[in-house]
Structure 1
Amino acid sequence: MKKKIIVGVIIVALVGIIAGIQISAKNKKEITNVKSTKVEMGDVKMYLSTTATIESKNKKNYIASSTAKISSVKVKVGDKVKKGDTLLTYDTSDLSNQVSSAQIGYENALSQKKDAVDKNSDADVTAGTQAGAQTNASTSSAASQNSLSDEKIKQLNYAIETAKITLDSAKTKLAQNSSIISDIDGVATAVNVVNGQTGSQDTALVVQDISDLKAVVKVGKYDAAKVALGQDATIMNNGKSYKAKVSKIYPTATVNTTATGGDTNLTVELDVLEVAPQLKVNFDSDVDILLNQALGVVKVPAQAILTNKDGTTYLFAVRGGKAVKQIVKLGVQSDAFMEIVSGVKVGNSVILNPGSTVTDGIMVKESVVTGGK
């Protein structure tokens, strides 16, 4: 009998040990490993990251004359140009001859009127003398026929005006087709004509100030509503960054149509605020436009935030070894961090990238991540 009792006790003990092991294993399985980080104070900056084309803020395109022959092209691509420098000259021999011919025509018109007026004055003097000596009808008739009529004066004046217009036109044509002068300081970035060429429908010369640059960005309708004049920006190129600022927002969007469809964009210009030797005209560069920011605020990493179907946002805080679902109100949001207006406090521990296994109230084991990464 005593032997049976001992065997029974041993069996009960084994059952207890096995049950304890099973319970322990079950509890161990219920503990979920999570990565967490601390809620902290800091800055949250919201950027629009996009691509911009670098352009000169001061650019001049010059069209060659369609009639005059180019005598000499004075610059080549890469040459520095000062305002007032001659970029090219024309063969003006024909135009100079036209000015000379028009000048002669104008002087002849003036001479013809002078001769007519002088003859009329002489006739008036003769008529007056003869009228004093005799008053017969034939003498008076001859004097009146020599008198210069108003109609004749109009004709002479019209001839002078016409000759003057012709002369002015010839001079203007000569001035406009004698040379092309640079309006700005800069660099010749395109030369599309050669000596001896006559006429061109394309741009002959381009001068740009490559020391004063801007970045041109195309933004979609959703991002366009966030961009404002004066916003700070950063332009990145070849590992270097340059300060910039939104300086111009076009009043209307443009539609770009392609064979596969089209899109509508708004053009935004940014002034480059510092010397940027790495930036080259017509190259693309990465741009970050600072749309909004909150400085010295409570923040958490963006990967801690989840969204309910009703649009409310929440996260899982860790309290007493458990995951606790916590509704939070957000402020400024960036790709990396979210401003927390309410819901958690600095120093609270929050779970990063909570998957479907993380639910309200489960036991968790933290692996703390510094900086939320």
Structure 2
Amino acid sequence: MRLRRALPLGHTALVNSALVVLLAGGGTWAYFMISGDAEPAQGSTVRTVAVARGTVTATVTADGSIESANTMSADFTTGGTVTAIKVKVGDRVKKGAVLATVDATEVAESLSTAERNLDAARDALDRAEDGGDDSAIANAGNQVDQAESAVAAAQRAVDGTVLKAPMAGTVVAINGAVGGSSGGSSGGGNGSSSTSASSGFMQLADLTKLQVAAAVAEADATRLKTGQTATVAWNALTGATATGRVSAISPTATSGNTVTYPIEVLLETIPDGTRLGQTVSLTVTVDEVADAVYVPAAAVRTAGGRTTVVVVSNGAQEIRAVVIGLKGDSYTVIVSGLDVGEQVVLATVTTGTGNQQQFPGGPPGGFTGGGFGGSTGGRTGGGGR
């Protein structure tokens, strides 16, 4: 059996001491990388920016399309063969204007018959009243009431052969042709209101009141309120923008692979060239702080419940605790801890081997990477989480 030669006592102590140093150094580096409390190494080139004062905003963005805020579907209440269409798509009409007609021959005859029956019922009532018989008078009176109801129904049928505009607006669709069937409607009235008319013989829209229809993610929907201001940019109209306000937020999510909530934004201005159905980009301001002290979000780090920034003064770097307010789209409000004009370091992320995260001034403790297991660890804290 071969005996393993033991190291001299002095060599063993030297090796153990080296291991202790390495372990201590690696543990200290790992602690600083996690806690974010390390003092940055001096002498490295870093990006800095001055603390500023101004307005910080948070927004929600979405894609949408232009639609009318007021549309109606107009349909005949009496079915029949279409005899005339008096408008075309694109025509602007006043409320009550005649849009189309159907053949009224049969219903007109029914009205004439009902009117003759009413005359006969009234004559019968006159004779009963002359006779003085209360029972006969009551019966004749009922006959008059029924005849009057029949006349009213026949008159409505005749009126239903003429399609009139239920609102002032622009004709945006005609779903029929002369000689075809009107279809008719089983309900009363000549038009029905709809936020997106898609049925009926004709559709009318008010093109002076337009809105954006969009859908936002559920996380964004919780940040929206009616009345919030919005900016709209047209995809097909170069440089065209408009302002608006959130007018409706659906309480019910749409079905699909992702949960979204429909919203509507009423436009306050309408650029030239705007058409129904055009696609737009929508930006809604959900929060805003004016006259605020702020820094870029990339300058703020949060770890272990503590929020800090790295301040540079006279070439030296200092980690300073701060209290933050609104986390905007690009900037974070500083409630306390910084003064306007101070220089703060922007955290950056490199794309080198291993996608290493870069600390301002280099890794804590002067380590240049590697460590145990080859991981840099650490946190950049960018984005003002």
Is 1:243–1:274's contact at 8 Å kept on the other side of the alignment?
Answer: yes
Instruction: Give the structure 2 partner of residue 295 of structure 1.
Output: 290
Q: Do structure 1's residue 152 and structure 2's residue 136 form an aligned pair?
A: yes
Instruction: Give the structure 2 partner of residue 340 of structure 1.
Output: 334
Instruction: Give the structure 1 partner of residue 221 of structure 2.
Output: 224
Is 2:52–2:295's contact at 8 Å kept on the other side of the alignment?
Answer: yes
Is 1:59–1:207's contact at 8 Å kept on the other side of the alignment?
Answer: yes
In 1, the alpha carbon distance for the partners of 2:273 and 2:289 equals 31
Q: Do structure 1's residue 263 and structure 2's residue 259 form an aligned pair?
A: yes
Is 2:240–2:271's contact at 8 Å kept on the other side of the alignment?
Answer: no
Is 2:347–2:358's contact at 8 Å kept on the other side of the alignment?
Answer: no
Instruction: Give the structure 2 partner of residue 180 of structure 1.
Output: 163
**Which structure's CA Rg is the greater one?**
1
3-state SS of 1:114 partner: helix
Is 1:322–1:362's contact at 8 Å kept on the other side of the alignment?
Answer: no
Instruction: Give the structure 2 partner of residue 328 of structure 1.
Output: 322
Residue 175 of structure 2: which of 186, 192, 195 is its match?
192
TM-score norm. by structure 1 comes to 0.73
Instruction: Give the structure 2 partner of residue 138 of structure 1.
Output: none
- Once the 2 structures are TM-superposed, how far is the Cα of residue 104 of structure 1 from its aligned partner? 0.5
Give the partner amino acid of 2:72.
Answer: K
Give the direction of change, closer, same or farther, for the CA distance of 1:187–1:154 in structure 2 (3 Å limit).
Answer: same
Is 1:65–1:198's contact at 8 Å kept on the other side of the alignment?
Answer: no
In 2, the alpha carbon distance for the partners of 1:295 and 1:101 equals 76
TM-score norm. by structure 2 comes to 0.71
Give the direction of change, closer, same or farther, for the CA distance of 1:334–1:278 in structure 2 (3 Å limit).
Answer: farther
In 2, the alpha carbon distance for the partners of 1:244 and 1:87 equals 33
Over the residues paired in the alignment, what is the CA RMSD in angstroms?
2.4
List per-residue Cα deviations over 1:13-70 (Å, max 9, x = no partner): xxxxxxxxxxxxxxxx973221111112222111112123222122111123462222
Q: Do structure 1's residue 171 and structure 2's residue 176 form an aligned pair?
A: no
Is 1:317–1:325's contact at 8 Å kept on the other side of the alignment?
Answer: yes
Alignment of 1:221-370 (within 5 A): 221-237=218-234, 238=237, 239-250=239-250, 252-257=251-256, 261-265=257-261, 267-308=262-303, 310-354=304-348, 355-358=357-360, 359=363
3-state SS of 2:201 partner: strand
Q: Which structure's residues are more often strand, by fraction? A: 1
Residue 211 of structure 1: which of 204, 208, 212 is its match?
208
- Once the 2 structures are TM-superposed, how far is the Cα of residue 296 of structure 1 from its aligned partner? 1.9
- Once the 2 structures are TM-superposed, how far is the Cα of residue 246 of structure 1 from its aligned partner? 2.2
List per-residue Cα deviations over 1:240-261 (Å, max 9, x = no partner): 21111223344x223324xxx3
- Once the 2 structures are TM-superposed, how far is the Cα of residue 212 of structure 1 from its aligned partner? 1.5
Give the direction of change, closer, same or farther, for the CA distance of 1:221–1:262 in structure 2 (3 Å limit).
Answer: closer
Give the partner amino acid of 1:90.
Answer: V
Give the partner amino acid of 2:225.
Answer: A
Residue 43 of structure 2: which of 26, 31, 38 is its match?
31
- Once the 2 structures are TM-superposed, how far is the Cα of residue 311 of structure 1 from its aligned partner? 4.1
Is 2:85–2:100's contact at 8 Å kept on the other side of the alignment?
Answer: yes
- Deviates further, 349-358 or 85-94: 349-358
3-state SS of 1:254 partner: coil
3-state SS of 2:65 partner: strand
Residue 110 of structure 2: which of 98, 109, 114 is its match?
98
- Once the 2 structures are TM-superposed, how far is the Cα of residue 88 of structure 1 from its aligned partner? 0.8
Which runs of 5 or more structure 2 residues have no equivalent in the other structure?
1-40, 185-198, 349-356, 368-385
In 2, the alpha carbon distance for the partners of 1:94 and 1:236 equals 54
Is 1:323–1:360's contact at 8 Å kept on the other side of the alignment?
Answer: no
Is 2:243–2:267's contact at 8 Å kept on the other side of the alignment?
Answer: yes
Is 1:323–1:362's contact at 8 Å kept on the other side of the alignment?
Answer: no
List per-residue Cα deviations over 1:70-118 (Å, max 9, x = no partner): 2111111111222222111121111111100000011111112323444
Is 1:186–1:208's contact at 8 Å kept on the other side of the alignment?
Answer: yes
Give the partner amino acid of 2:66.
Answer: I
4+ long deviations beyond 6 Å = none
Give the direction of change, closer, same or farther, for the CA distance of 1:335–1:227 in structure 2 (3 Å limit).
Answer: same
Identity %: 24
3-state SS of 1:51 partner: strand
3-state SS of 2:344 partner: strand
In 1, the alpha carbon distance for the partners of 2:88 and 2:305 equals 62
Alignment of 1:54-73 (within 5 A): 54-65=66-77, 67-73=79-85
Give the partner amino acid of 1:162.
Answer: Q
Q: Which structure's residues are more often helix, by fraction? A: 1
- Once the 2 structures are TM-superposed, how far is the Cα of residue 153 of structure 1 from its aligned partner? 2.5
Give the direction of change, closer, same or farther, for the CA distance of 1:30–1:110 in structure 2 (3 Å limit).
Answer: closer
3-state SS of 1:170 partner: helix
Residue 76 of structure 1: which of 88, 91, 111 is its match?
88
In 2, the alpha carbon distance for the partners of 1:268 and 1:102 equals 51
Give the partner amino acid of 2:87.
Answer: V
Q: How many residues align?
A: 300
- Deviates further, 72-81 or 149-158: 149-158
Give the direction of change, closer, same or farther, for the CA distance of 1:231–1:317 in structure 2 (3 Å limit).
Answer: same
Instruction: Give the structure 1 partner of residue 98 of structure 2.
Output: 86
Is 1:191–1:205's contact at 8 Å kept on the other side of the alignment?
Answer: yes
3-state SS of 1:31 partner: coil
Is 2:231–2:243's contact at 8 Å kept on the other side of the alignment?
Answer: yes
